Chains A and B, each alone.
Chain A
């Protein structure tokens, strides 16, 4: 555990395109797929990011330029320092016969999960979606994989549609024991509905505004049970989701106020 802020040099950057990059840091701790780190841009802010891959030498995070923080991050170069605290939270659990379902940049932790399952020789399928092919992280890496299905909304990959349209046919083959999902909350809730009606176990990775990452500030406590997403999550299962009443609602902002729908 490395809760204390430590600064690391960026050892490599993979530019997918201008607004989507993966950053590599020296590996200094163990982590499970689904866990996250808090990334500090000195003098600007600190934000949580899922670990998108880990190898024996490096840790990878993958970032899409969306707001002031991620825009600034795109300007960083190899050799520059960034602060990291973590890994935090609880990730996906190991299993055989898993279906991974990811949408957009939020699917980043599933890349780490897929690589982990592969190294353990587990059987799994991976449905990975985005608005367009360029939104799918490392889409080319999956070309040769027959257990990976790429789905886009604009027709730039083999399948067109929403990831959730492709789940039931795979489940009906009868081999899948668990679904692991990461992406927009609407997609996660659709996965949950399918998993419950098909009687399949699931683990889903949620996002909330987070501050401390160590379970004391209360910013990411979920209404209902009050669970601390940064400690008990971000990957949640049915026993935890059943006690949460704020699913699908706008998230609490930095002040703690929930915007009115």
Chain B
């Protein structure tokens, strides 16, 4: 790691930049992950994978609108066995830390996928309990069920062979901070917040039908930033483990807001829509400029700064 003004340590990972690529964006292959790492991301996250291959929903599965992006990819992924190969190839080609995102269709499947993914030796495992497509046996999304989140976190932690884990949470619950605390109590090394919100819908008025093939999809992009900043704020007041804050970050000031709310690292995903992977370097530079203008030498001192 280059020790520079914006490098951070997050749950044992040494990051050259606090910015990381969020899961679900440019994360299917070793080559695309490497291209994002080379563009200035401090870490990259591979696409959430489950036990079996899934083609996901038909298109339109990603739909930009005036203020963000609506998506219902439907957890398309090649299956954990293929993802292990992609991660192994990535690790051979890049030194930038990789976070492997996983999901399961039930609690036990999280354990099975974890056992497989550890063989690729990712630098961290992201436990995606917040995809709107996956619901518990009671029909409640995993991420809104404190007991299920606790059990999944404990199970993945027990099978992670020392690889740090982060649990990716949803804002769609009465108290994201309470869920985060339960994850911390059950062994989570970090919290990732937030997944896309909603779900939302866009209807075409000429054909009078929802445009997404899945009809509804998660809302991300610039319009969710105030929600994600508030979630990070709430979590920061409740847990001691580091937070990866993401949701609507499209410019340097957004990343700074996230850090001041309490994030140690900042996820960038849909924001790449306008500027491509070059956005990482643009935000890196913007943060450095802010530090310089405020006569600060390190970004660490800004973490949680808004809590005063």
Chain A residues touching B, majority SS: loop
Instruction: Verify A226–B29 contact, CB threshold 8 A.
Output: yes
- Within the complex, which residue of B77, B78, B202, B272 is in contact with A216, where a contact is CB–CB below 8 Å? B272
- Within the complex, which residue of B29, B61, B272 is in contact with A215, where a contact is CB–CB below 8 Å? B272
Q: Does A223 contact B (CB under 8 A)?
A: yes
Q: Does A146 contact B (CB under 8 A)?
A: no
- Which chain A residues border B272 with CB–CB below 8 Å? 215-216
Instruction: Verify B77–A255 contact, CB threshold 8 A.
Output: yes
- Within the complex, which residue of A40, A45, A46, A217 is in contact with B25, where a contact is CB–CB below 8 Å? A217
A224 vs B34: C-alpha distance in the bound complex, in angstroms?
Answer: 9
A231 vs B207: C-alpha distance in the bound complex, in angstroms?
Answer: 28
- Within the complex, which residue of B33, B55, B60 is in contact with A5, where a contact is CB–CB below 8 Å? B60
Instruction: Verify B64–A46 contact, CB threshold 8 A.
Output: no
Instruction: Verify A46–B59 contact, CB threshold 8 A.
Output: yes
Q: Does B206 contact A (CB under 8 A)?
A: yes
- Which chain A residues border B62 with CB–CB below 8 Å? 211-214, 216-217
Within the complex, the shortest CB–CB distance from B153 to chain A, in Å, comes to 27
Within the complex, the shortest CB–CB distance from B89 to chain A, in Å, comes to 9
A222 vs B26: C-alpha distance in the bound complex, in angstroms?
Answer: 11
Instruction: Verify A256–B60 contact, CB threshold 8 A.
Output: no
Instruction: Verify A81–B61 contact, CB threshold 8 A.
Output: no
Q: Does B27 contact A (CB under 8 A)?
A: yes
A45 vs B56: C-alpha distance in the bound complex, in angstroms?
Answer: 12
Chain A-chain B contacts (Cβ-Cβ < 8 Å), number: 129
Instruction: Verify A83–B273 contact, CB threshold 8 A.
Output: no
Interface size on B, residues (CB 8 A): 47
- Within the complex, which residue of B27, B78, B202 is in contact with A257, where a contact is CB–CB below 8 Å? B78
Within the complex, the shortest CB–CB distance from A40 to chain B, in Å, comes to 6
- Which chain B residues border A212 with CB–CB below 8 Å? 61-62
Which among B34, B62, B269, B273 has the highest number of chain A CB atoms within 10 Å? B62
Instruction: Verify A7–B206 contact, CB threshold 8 A.
Output: yes
Q: Does A147 contact B (CB under 8 A)?
A: no
Q: Does B292 contact A (CB under 8 A)?
A: no
Instruction: Verify B29–A256 contact, CB threshold 8 A.
Output: yes
A186 vs B11: C-alpha distance in the bound complex, in angstroms?
Answer: 48
- The answer to whether residues A257 and B73 also contact, given A218-B25, A219-B28, A231-B276 and a CB cut-off of 8 A, is no
- Within the complex, which residue of A42, A211, A253 is in contact with B61, where a contact is CB–CB below 8 Å? A211
By beta carbon, the residue of chain B nearest A5 is B211
Q: Does A227 contact B (CB under 8 A)?
A: yes
Instruction: Verify A221–B211 contact, CB threshold 8 A.
Output: no
B residues adjacent to A (C-beta < 8 A) = 24-36, 47, 53-56, 58-66, 69, 71, 73, 76-79, 82, 202, 204, 206-207, 209, 211, 213, 269-270, 272-273, 276
Known contacts A4-B64, A38-B59, A256-B77, then 11 further A-B pairs from the complex at CB < 8 Å, ordered by chain A residue: A212-B61, A218-B28, A221-B26, A222-B31, A226-B29, A252-B29, A254-B56, A254-B76, A255-B54, A257-B78, A257-B82
